[in-house]
Amino acid sequence: MGFKALLGRANTEIETISVDDAKDHLASKDVLFIDVRETQEVQNTGGLPGHVHVPRGFLEFIADPESPMHKPELSSGKRLVLYCASGGRSALAAKTLQDMGITDVCHIAGGYTAWVESGGPTE
């Protein structure tokens, strides 16, 4: 199965929110923004205010509470709003987290690129 089919399947099974909806969650203490881009991307361009960086390649290890790499933020019970550069990796990551049993997860349509283009705040 190729990436288009994988993305298509993921997008039918996950929740996608708009940049405007994501902006509405910025001040919420019940929401955590998760940046799944590579480290160099985040270093080069920044990210959403207060985000937690979880590179896509380590997602399963960081999300699993039984892993030594686990970040407790991912099991905090907060709504996880994922993003990447354009929405592909975050869609796949949201599907993976759902498959791992994390149910309150979604991703931002258009990713960080759409966020920046809309004038969303960055750090």
Task: Give residue-wise pLDDT tens across range 62-81.
Answer: 999 999 999 999 999 999 99
Confidence class for position 13, pLDDT limits 50, 70, 90: very high
Backbone angles phi, psi at 42, to 5 degrees: -65, -40
The answer as to whether 122 is a domain residue is: no
Report residue 91 as tokens.
């869609």
Task: Report whether pLDDT(30) > 90.
Answer: yes
d(CA 64, CA 72): 9
48 pLDDT above the threshold of 90: yes
79 assigned to some structural domain: yes
Average pLDDT over residues 27-47: 97
Write out pLDDT tens, residues 77-111.
999 999 999 999 999 999 999 999 999 999 999 99
Beta bridge partners of 108: 17
- d(CA 67, CA 58) in angstroms, rounded, equals 11
For residue 123, tell me if it sits in a domain. no
CATH number of the domain within which 29 lies: 3.40.250.10
Q: What is the pTM of this model?
A: 0.95
User: What's the pLDDT score for residue 81?
Assistant: 98
The pLDDT confidence band at residue 1, using thresholds 50, 70 and 90, is: confident
Domain, as residue range, for 99: 3-117
Residues contacting residue 15 through CB under 8 Å, at least 6 positions apart: 94, 105, 106, 107
Q: Dump strand ranges (E) for 18-73.
A: 31-35, 52-53
